[in-house]
Structure 1
Amino acid sequence: MNRWDGKTKGSLLGYKIFLFLINALGLNFAYGLLRIVSYYYYLFAEKAKEALLDFYSKALHISGKPALHLVRQNFFILGQTLLDRAAFLLGKDKNFTHTFENEQYLLDIRDKGKGGILLSAHLGNWETAGNLLKGRVTPTINIVMLDAEVESIKKFMDLSTGGSKFKIIPIKNDLSHVISIRNALLNNEFVAIHADRYLEGAKFIELDFLGKKAKFPYGPFVIASKFDAPVTFVFAAKDGKFSYHLSATTPIEGKMKPEEIAQLYVAELERKVRQYPEQWFNYFNFFQE
C-alpha cells in the first residue's frame, strides 16, 4: 500500500453537488444522499478499505464482520465531517452543538498571553470543532498544513463559501512557516498542527503505537519543543448527528525534548483511537512492515 502523498482526495463535481444540496435542500437531505455515496466507496474504494481493515486488525485486533462494519461507518462519518465543514462555511451551523472536556485548559493558555500549540490528528473533525470554539476561546486559530488540495476544488470552495474561516500557515521548503508560527504565538494566537502523517523523505520519529511500530512526522514535535508556548493535544470527534465532543489535555508548560512530547502525544492518540475507531481517517499503510 502506498504512503500518504499529502493531497486531499475528492472530485470537483462531488463538491459542487453537495454544496448545492446543502444550500437548496438542507444538511439532512445531503446526509441521506451521502449514505448511497459512502456505500459506493465501501464497495469500490479497495485501497482505502484494505488500509482500514489492516489497521483495525493489527492495531485493535478487530476483524471479520465487526471490522467491515467499522469501515462502512468510517466512510459515512468521513463524508458527514466534510458536509459539516461545508455547512459551517455556508453559515448553516445553527443546529450544531458540542461539549468540551477540559475547555478551561485552553482558556488558561489564552490568558497566559504566549499563544498555544495544539497538536491533533486525522481523527474526527478538527476544522468544524475549531469553528465551534472560535470566538469563545480565541479569535484566531492558525492551521499549519500542506497546501496541496486540488486547485480547482479549493478555488471553487473559496468562491462558493468564502473560504476557510481559519488562517492557514502553509508548510514551505524554505521554512518560512516557522516564522509565521512564531508571529502567531507572539500575537497570542493558537497554532494547530496535525502530527500523525509524514511524507516520504521527511524526517520522522518511530514509536510504538497500539502495539506496532509506526512513523510520525518529527517536525510538529520539534516546533512544540522550541517555542515558549504551552502545548496541548486537542481532538474533536463526532458524537451525534449534529454534535461534537472536544477534548484537551493538561498543557505542557516547561521545556521538553521532541521525543518526550511525541511519546505523550502517541499515548493520547491511542486512547482516542480506541474510543473512536470509526473516525480514524488515515487511508494508507500506517504501520511499518
Structure 2
Amino acid sequence: MSRWDGKTRGSLIGYKIFLFFIHFLGLNFAYLLLRIVTYYYFLFATKPKNALLDFYQNALHISASDAKKLVRKNFYIFGQTLVDRAAFLLGKNKAYTHIFENEQYLIDIRERGKGGILLSAHLGNWETAGNLLKGRITPTINIVMLDAEVESIKKFMDLSTGGSRFKVIAIKNDLSHIISIRNALINNEFVAIHSDRYIDGAKFIELDFLGKKAKFPYGPFVIASKFDAPVTFVFAAKDGKYSYHLSSTLPITEKMKPEEIARLYVAELERKVRKYPEQWFNYFNFFN
C-alpha cells in the first residue's frame, strides 16, 4: 500500500462480533479475543505490516527484531482503540480514566468565544478523545473527515450504539464543508481535523519528518490559517489498559501562514510519535 486511499477497512461481521462480546461478556473478554485476531493480522496482513516495519526501522531506527515486536503491539493496541470506541458508545465509559495535559488551553479557547481548530493525527484514539472532550470542555465537537467508512458498518454502528457523540463535517468536492466549519466556529464550537494523511491528487505540503521528506495535506493548515479562531494540536494516546493521556499545545492566536502552522504541527507530531511509536496507525508508505 503506497498511499492512503481514503477508505476505512473492516468487516461488518467483525464489528458485530465485538459489539456482542463487549456488551454481554465485557471488555476483558473482548481484549482477550483481540490477541487472537491481531496475531492473525500480524501473520497475514503483509502490506500494513511491511509499512510499519519500514517506518520503525528506517524512520525511528529501531532494530529489526524490536520492530517486529512493536508491529504486533501496534496491531493489538489499534484493536483496543476500536473496542474502546464501541465500549464508550455502549455506555461503558465509566470503565475508563484519563488525564488531560494542558486542559486549561482548551478552556481558554472556549472562553474566547471564537471557536477552536484542533489539529490531530492518526495516532492514539482520536474518536474517544472527541467523546471525552465533548462532555468535559464543550457541548459540541465537529470532526472534519472523508465520509468514506463502509456504509453498512457505519449504519450498523449507528443502530447499535447510537452513533458518535460528535458531529461529522464531511469533506465535499464543492467545498461546502468550509461553510460548515465557518458556522461551527461562529457558534463557538471546536473543529477537529486530521492533518497527517493526504490523498493522491490533493494539494500537499512536503516537510521534514523524522529526518525524511514526507507529504502532508495542505488543506487543514490553510483552514487553520484563514479562520479567525485559535489553533492547537491535540492528541489522545492510550497509556494504560483502560486509560488515556490527552494533551493540547499552547494555542496559536496570531495570524500565521499555512506553512508555518504545518512546521509547528509536524514538530509536535514527531514528539508524539517518538513517545508513542506503538500507536502510529498509518498503515501505508508514509514517505516518498
In the TM superposition, structure 1's runs of 4+ consecutive aligned residues that sit over 3 Å from their partners are none
Partners of 1:231 and 1:3 in 2: CA distance: 27
Question: Which amino acid in 2 is paired with 1:54?
Answer: D
Partners of 1:84 and 1:52 in 2: CA distance: 23
When the two chains are superposed, the root-mean-square deviation of aligned CA atoms in Å is: 0.6
User: 1:53: which partner in 2?
Assistant: 53
Cα offset, 1:59, TM superposition: 1.0
- SS class of match (1:52): helix
Q: Deviations over 1:58-101 (max 9, x none)?
A: 21001311000100000000000000000011111111000000
- SS class of match (1:15): helix
Q: Deviations over 1:253-288 (max 9, x none)?
A: 000000000000000000000000000000000000
Partners of 2:264 and 2:2 in 1: CA distance: 27
Tell me if 1:31 matches 2:31: yes
- SS class of match (1:234): strand
- Work out the number of aligned pairs and report it: 288
Partners of 1:68 and 1:221 in 2: CA distance: 34
Cα offset, 1:132, TM superposition: 1.8
Question: Which amino acid in 1 is paired with 2:264?
Answer: L
Partners of 2:142 and 2:110 in 1: CA distance: 14
Structure 1 residue runs of 5 or longer lacking an equivalent are none
Q: Deviations over 1:93-127 (max 9, x none)?
A: 11100000000000000000000000000000011
- Which of 57-66 and 6-15 deviates more? 57-66
Partners of 1:225 and 1:131 in 2: CA distance: 26
CA contact (8 A) 1:53 1:63 kept: no
Partners of 2:97 and 2:44 in 1: CA distance: 33
User: 2:247: which partner in 1?
Assistant: 247
Q: Deviations over 1:14-38 (max 9, x none)?
A: 0000000001101111000000000
User: 1:146: which partner in 2?
Assistant: 146
CA contact (8 A) 2:97 2:242 kept: yes
Partners of 1:64 and 1:88 in 2: CA distance: 36
Partners of 1:156 and 1:187 in 2: CA distance: 31
User: 1:72: which partner in 2?
Assistant: 72
Structure 2 residue runs of 5 or longer lacking an equivalent are none
User: 1:222: which partner in 2?
Assistant: 222
Q: Deviations over 1:212-243 (max 9, x none)?
A: 00000000000000000000000000000000
Cα offset, 1:133, TM superposition: 2.4
- TM-score, length-scaled by structure 1: 0.99
Identity %: 84
- TM-score, length-scaled by structure 2: 0.99
